[in-house]
Structure 1
Amino acid sequence: MSKIVFFDIDGTLLDDDKNLPSSTKAAVKALQKNGIYTAIATGRGPFMVTQVINELDIDSYVAFNGQFVVFEKEVIYKNPFNPTELKRFASEANKRNHPLVYMSEKTLKGNVEKDKRIADSMASLQLVHPDVDPDYYVKEDIYQTLLYAKEDEEEYLSAFEDIYTFIRWHKEAMDVVPKGGSKAEGIKILIERLGFKMEDVYAFGDGLNDIEMLKTVGTGVAMGNAHEAVKIHADIVTERVENNGIAVGLKKVGLLDDSFEII
């Protein structure tokens, strides 16, 4: 295998209704048949990607925006939070009524009950409000935290910029990961294990958490439905996910030839 393609999930492989277009599945299968390695790069946790990786026969992925890397079903990298620092951060967030959701390898837990902000963001992922366990971060390794705060409520986060990276994905929610964490860093770890050079790496994405990935890989492809701030960092912009965006993009970069018919 001489090339590898990383796919984001939400808004890239899956449309707004969390459906996998038939053209996308066919395109990924065609890549695999042609000897091109396929992998996932997502902000989701391992427990949230099972259906997608099973349907697409993908065994390697970067999860939690680079904090958890799996190579052919084997975990090869973990970068959890420091619990003491996370406790301090949670204290500051709680003072401002900014809920948190803690994400481990196994599941996710909220630190408050029945919060509309959490419920709304979870609904956008077709998930329900998580169970509550304010002390979950001391019981399990946490790789990513969701913080619920609006853009005009972020000022205090500057005090934590030396230890955390903040990536907004919803009007009232953002991902929080250890400083410097990104899909790009996870990709570097995985391709080193596989022996690929960065110029032979392709990536498809649509969200703000995909920017670093698209800038780092040899060829970055933004979906037509991507945030405008994402498109400017891509080498190529393809169609929207529901308009055969993956298949069209793979043709544009030359990984699928004219023999592949988009149905």
Structure 2
Amino acid sequence: MTQKSIIFFDIDGTLLNHDKKLPTSTKEAIFKLKESGHTVAIATGRAPFMFEDLREELGIHTYVSYNGQYVVLDGEVLDTNPLNIPALEKLTEVALQNNHPVVFMDHEDMKANVPEHSFIKESIDSLKISHFPAHDPHYYKGRDLYQSLLFCTEGEERQYEQVFNEFDIIRWHPVAVDILPKGGSKAKGIEKIVQKLGILEDNLYAFGDGLNDIEMLSTVKNSVAMGNAEEPVKAVAKYVTKSVEDDGIVDGLKLVGLL
């Protein structure tokens, strides 16, 4: 293949396995792509500070984080899409009444509006990251936020969806949902990078497994769903590879002809 491509990888369940470990085969494949002159990028729902170690380990400097709300190209911020703060403040007031904690997130840190709560611990611990939100109920004031976390059980988020049209609410854990700017997505973040680099659609690839990957995989021409992906995700992808636990990245790169 002479034409160089850009390949976007989701993190959890795609690059990292269910133990949040990077398979050796995946790491070797990433470096082979880079040696061939391709650009390797990340497209994740995580905050930038939640995957610094992974970026360093893989030498990746281009990424779409917060599901498209904070986009970085070659180490420089390319595009941001912050939350509507007045609407977030109102949502937080309702959440407090319902005993639903909220975590506020910018590009550097995250803070919780309550001192502690079992739902926060359970969901954040599942990410196996070193960061844990300290208590600062006013962290949303005077800064851009790109995502918030609302902690509630499945189905309870509907009351917020019905009232707060400024946001997209996406569940990522049995007791936690993402609060994102309406219409923001990994696909739109990727589009910003592709336009800046002038990449042709034939040379654009994306790998993912989660519900927040559906728009990305249905938009990118060469899309690959992991074998461990949920069925709605597999349904929109052009290819389905093996599970992340079964060298799925290597298999998927072979499927699309990059390895």
TM superposition score normalised by structure 2: 0.95
1:67 to 54, 69, 76: 69
2:77 is paired with a residue whose SS is: strand
Give the match's secondary structure for 2:134: coil
Q: Secondary structure at the match of 1:85?
A: helix
Aligned counterpart for 1:202 among listed residues 164, 181, 205: 205
Equivalent position SS for 2:250:
helix
Letter in 2 for 1:252: L
Conserved 8 A contact 1:114-1:129: no
> d(CA) in 2 for partners of 1:56 and 1:129?
24
Gaps of 5+ in 2: none
Q: What does the per-residue CA deviation read over 1:224-243, in whole Å, with 9 as the maximum and x for residues that have no partner?
A: 11122211111111111121
Please list every run of 5 or more consecutive structure 1 residues that lacks an aligned counterpart in the other structure.
Answer: 257-263
Match of 1:105 among 96, 99, 107: 107
For 1:147 and 1:72, the matched residues in 2 are separated by: 31
Counterpart of 1:122 in 2: which secondary structure?
A: helix
Question: Is 1:134 the counterpart of 2:137 in the alignment?
Answer: yes
The answer on whether the counterparts of 2:161 and 2:169 sit within 8 Å (CA) in structure 1 is no
Please report how far the alpha carbon of residue 152 of structure 1 lies from its aligned counterpart in structure 2 after TM superposition.
2.2
Counterpart CA distance in 1 for 2:36 and 2:241 is 21
- Aligned residue for 2:232? 229
The question of whether the paired residues in 2 share the 8 Å contact of 1:161 and 1:179 is answered with: no
- Write the distance in 2 (CA, Å) between the matches of 1:16 and 1:140: 34
1:260 counterpart residue number = none
Is 1:10 aligned to residue 12 of structure 2? yes
Residue in 2 aligned with 1:32? 34
* Deviation sequence 1:83-104 (CA, Å, 0-9, x none): 2111011112222111111111
Q: CA RMSD in A?
A: 1.3
User: CA separation of 1:129/1:35 partners in 2, compared to 1, >3 Å: closer, same or farther?
Assistant: closer
Amino acid corresponding to residue 159 of structure 1 in structure 2:
Q
In 1, Cα distance between equivalents of 2:163 and 2:9:
30
Match of 1:22 among 18, 24, 42: 24
Deviation string 1:164-201 (CA, Å, 9 cap, x unpaired) is 11111111111111000110010000111111123321
The residue identity in structure 2 corresponding to 1:248 is: D
Q: Is the 8 A contact 2:68 2:185 kept in 1?
A: yes
Per the alignment, in what secondary structure is the counterpart of residue 162 of structure 2? Answer: helix
Shift of 1:2: 3.0
Q: How does 1:113-262 map to 2 (within 5 A)?
A: 113-127=115-129, 129-256=132-259
Q: 3-state DSSP class of the match of 1:230?
A: helix
Q: Identify the residue that residue 91 of structure 1 maps to in structure 2.
A: 93
Shift of residue 205, structure 1, vs aligned partner: 0.7
Superposition TM-score, scaled by structure 1 size: 0.93
Q: How many residues align?
A: 256
**Residue type of the partner of 1:35?**
G
- 2:91–2:164 CA contact under 8 A, matched in 1: no
Identity of aligned pairs, percent? Answer: 49
Letter in 2 for 1:114: E
